[in-house]
Structure 1
């Protein structure tokens, strides 16, 4: 679905925190890469504490790794992901160690 470069493409940019979520409908020139579209959306004004130039991005729940080169397509919903606060594997490991210690102490 290639579109001429002089066309505008309608997309959505989404970011959420535990307290609120924002969905912006944005028009960008065809050929704009995902990262540039996020920065052009103005979402950084809503969340000035977030470094959107570094956040992982996805489209409809699928992480996109080439955010600097992949062009947006009409109808894309670009999701901005927050960095993980803790590694899920490490959390599971700590939980398992705590449960093992509780078993030893109880029995």
Structure 2
């Protein structure tokens, strides 16, 4: 059996579930069993490394649900550069 944590952390809401899975289980299996009510999810990761639903899990893994970006990274860089130019 695999013991896996499934977590998500939004600005005003955090949740964590521990699930028990059979050997050979995947990220999709863990998410299905955890049944977290998360709303919009941008993807998932295992210990901070992007993962596909078909990614196999190991005992002790932490599956993280990723929230959508709030600002486009290119736009954020433009804004920072503009602030530096403006003083």
Structure 2 length-normalised TM = 0.81
Report the alpha carbon displacement of residue 76 of structure 1 after superposing the two structures with TM.
0.4
Deviations 1:47-69 (A, max 9, x none): 3xx145xx3111112222xx232
Which structure is richer in relative contact order (CA contacts within 8 A, separation 6 or more)?
A: 2
Structure 1 length-normalised TM = 0.68
Deviations 1:27-84 (A, max 9, x none): 122212112311221112xx3xx145xx3111112222xx232111110011111010
For residues 51 and 32 of structure 1, the distance between their equivalents in structure 2, rounded to whole angstroms, comes to: 24
Task: Give 2:64's aligned residue.
Answer: 79
More strand by share: 2
Q: Aligned pair 1:18/2:5, yes or no?
A: no
Structure 1 moving runs of 4+ over 6 Å: none
In structure 1, stretches of 5+ residues that fail to align are: 1-7
Q: In the comparison of the two structures, how many residue pairs are matched?
A: 87
Query: Which secondary structure does the structure 2 equivalent of 1:43 belong to?
Result: coil
* Structure possessing the higher radius of gyration over alpha carbons: 1
- Cα-Cα RMSD: 1.9
In structure 2, stretches of 5+ residues that fail to align are: none
